[in-house]
Chains A and B, each alone.
Chain A
């Protein structure tokens, strides 16, 4: 599990742990290429998974420093465990927020991201001058842990319908609070 962590010096260990936490919070994970000489692929996956699990457990259960250290007893040297603990202390708030986000997106499909472009259709195949604004909206929806992208194009009336229905949904959510 985490016992292979002692193969790198402490400063690198701190950096690696920060990168792991970055990956946990939705940013770039550490790439295996940088550490390919130190760990084999299986060990690398193992290490990543176990480090992530340690972070989640420690923050999710709001455990004290001693508990975390006990969980890290598998690591060879105590200085490495201390390094992991310091990373955890520094990033506790960030990890907590990302875990809360996970909990918030508990329903089957959640909106992850969206992007929009405004276009003007100058003419069509039948009408030579047609100044109609069109909105192309793309929604990145996470459905059962798979990211799917929905793209749609709407004119003004359709956009108004969408906005009003979304507002109604927001009102329902506000009433729940």
Chain B
């Protein structure tokens, strides 16, 4: 019975009945709890019936009686076949309540249980709810914004508000302490950060863009750091440079590249006519645009050839501008048309002048380019000639010396020979010395070379190790992620599991019960066959007895007529037979009486189980209460 009670209590809890933790069988149910459970079940099964029923018992006795009657009626309407009345609820007994609750729980709609079982059902329910909400919102008529009541505010949003919902990013200024560790921070910067810089939340113009701006800044920093990390791991480590050196090298490389690109874009344009479609590439068009229309404050931070020329152009233009300004200011009180005419004229003249200036700069630029070319050529030539000059001067000096030696030729020859010999000796000497020094140096050199190659080998080995470690780290992080995912999935599955587990336990239990029942059935059939055999034996024995008695009776009766003693024995026989019959009858009677006694005992037990005495007392109490209520009412009526 415990299993059944557990299932019942579980189902009742799911319906919404508040069954206490300490209650684990139907026996412990109070009247209030029974009424609540039944009403909740009825509400789920048949909402129209259940909605009029209260979930708790009222205090008045007659009202309780009425609630019990209506509940019993509702249960019968649902289809409960068993005996039911107000007494079922007010003066409960365990088996009746159990059978009623079992009936109600079986009647509970199936999909309710399924919906709680399946995780996919939840999203379907959610989507259905969303669809219903949207349908309801669409059903509401649209109102202009100033006619709206506050309750419409949530669903009807005008386009302006929608526009404000967009996120926009604005640059933020954050004091960075980590950067300033190496170099000392400027005092002005500190003052600025302490006194004037507003907090991050006050920096953007709209409050809505605070979060977006902060997120954007952090993402930018993070992605920059990641990119650097990847690049450093893939290329930086292999180049065997420190990070600063690597950065430096990359910067110079990029700088060179950009300069080349710009130069190649700038160079062809002077040859074509001014303003014409010099080339179709975007960059050169852009540069053209810069050259013609860019305002003077557009200053590129990198000082390329191109920016210098640009600056040059615009300082010229700016210097010509004030003239016209002053001319304009001198005549403010002319007629409108006059002014317009004048302005037009001025405009055309200025444009003409501007064009002239532009063409002038163009031509002068081309001449400058030519001149620089020529200059470079000339400089090269000059260098070559200087080199030639040096060589020639050296040769001349040698010749001068020989000419000086010519007058005293023999002596000088001898001297020279001696000199040559001594120097030859010295050379030999030096060579031997050099050999002496050289041998250890060469050894040293070889040794160092070997060490160097060893170190190189080791460093490359370590590099490969580092690389493999990086790979391993990546692989293991991926694995960890995967495993975490699997873990999460398993946890969610586990959360959904317990109900299934209990179900399998139940089925197992049911199977056990079924097998038990089978065993019992076999035993019963065995006992039945035993009784049948016994019955047969008894029948055959009684038959035998009857027949033997009849035969003996006849024989003895025949002799009894002749012999006195035999007559006596016949009397005894008859008495014996009668007594034996009586005995058998008595034994049979005891058997039936014993069976009756057992039946009665069982009945007593069930009656005891029904709490008859307690219920009777309660009925008596309630009866008294009703009588009191009635008398009080009667008194009221009399008073009224």
Contact = CB atoms under 8 A, between A and B. Distances in A.
Interface in B289-318: 297, 299-302
A53 interface: yes
Given A14-B196, A115-B168, A131-B127, A90 B189 contact: yes
B368 to A, nearest CB: 23
A18 B299 contact: no
A89 B131 contact: no
Contacts of B196: 14-15, 18
Interface in A75-111: 86-87, 89-91, 94, 96, 98-100, 103, 106-108
B188 interface: yes
Nearest to A28: B205
Contacts of A61: 299
Nearest to A85: B188
Contacts of B192: 18, 87, 90-91
A8 interface: no
A82 B171 CA distance: 27
A177 interface: yes
A169 interface: no
B286 A90 contact: no
Contacts of A100: 301
Interface residues of A, number: 38
Contact of A122 (B131, B173, B212, B257): B131
Contact of B188 (A57, A86, A103): A86
Interface in B122-159: 127, 130-131, 134
A131 to B, nearest CB: 7
Interface in B503-552: none
Contacts of B204: 27
B553 to A, nearest CB: 97
A141 to B, nearest CB: 14
Contacts, number: 71
B326 to A, nearest CB: 16
Interface in B370-387: none
A177 to B, nearest CB: 7
B167 A89 contact: no
B300 A60 contact: yes
B234 to A, nearest CB: 11
Contacts of B134: 122
A103 B301 contact: yes
B297 A56 contact: yes
A75 to B, nearest CB: 18
B282 interface: yes
B300 A27 contact: no
A103 B302 contact: yes
Contacts of A123: 131
Contacts of A60: 299-301
A26 interface: yes
A173 B556 CA distance: 136
B610 interface: no
A90 B301 contact: no
B186 interface: yes
B299 A57 contact: yes
A26 B285 CA distance: 27
A9 B168 CA distance: 35
Contacts of A25: 171, 173
Contacts of A28: 205
A47 B513 CA distance: 98
B191 interface: yes
B359 interface: no
Given A27-B170, A91-B192, A56 B299 contact: yes
Interface in A42-70: 49, 52-53, 56-57, 59-61
B33 interface: no
A52 B130 contact: no
Contacts of A86: 188, 191
B282 A108 contact: yes
Contacts of B299: 56-57, 60-61, 99
B167 A107 contact: no
B34 to A, nearest CB: 44
A90 B286 CA distance: 34
A115 B215 CA distance: 12
Contacts of B62: none
A18 B173 CA distance: 12
A107 B171 contact: no
B254 interface: yes
A61 B307 CA distance: 11
Nearest to A99: B301
A27 B188 contact: no
Interface string B194-208: 001000000111000
10 contacts: A26-B170, A26-B171, A49-B297, A86-B191, A90-B192, A99-B299, A107-B282, A108-B285, A108-B286, A177-B250
Given A27-B171, A87-B192, A90-B191, 17 more contacts: A15-B196, A25-B171, A27-B173, A53-B297, A60-B300, A60-B301, A89-B189, A90-B189, A91-B192, A108-B286, A113-B168, A113-B169, A115-B166, A138-B166, A140-B168, A176-B257, A177-B254
Interface of B: 127, 130-131, 134, 166-171, 173, 186, 188-189, 191-192, 196, 203-205, 212, 250, 254, 257, 282, 285-286, 297, 299-302
Q: In the A-B complex, list the 3 residue pairs whose CB atoms are closest, starting with the nearest.
A: A90-B192, A90-B188, A89-B188
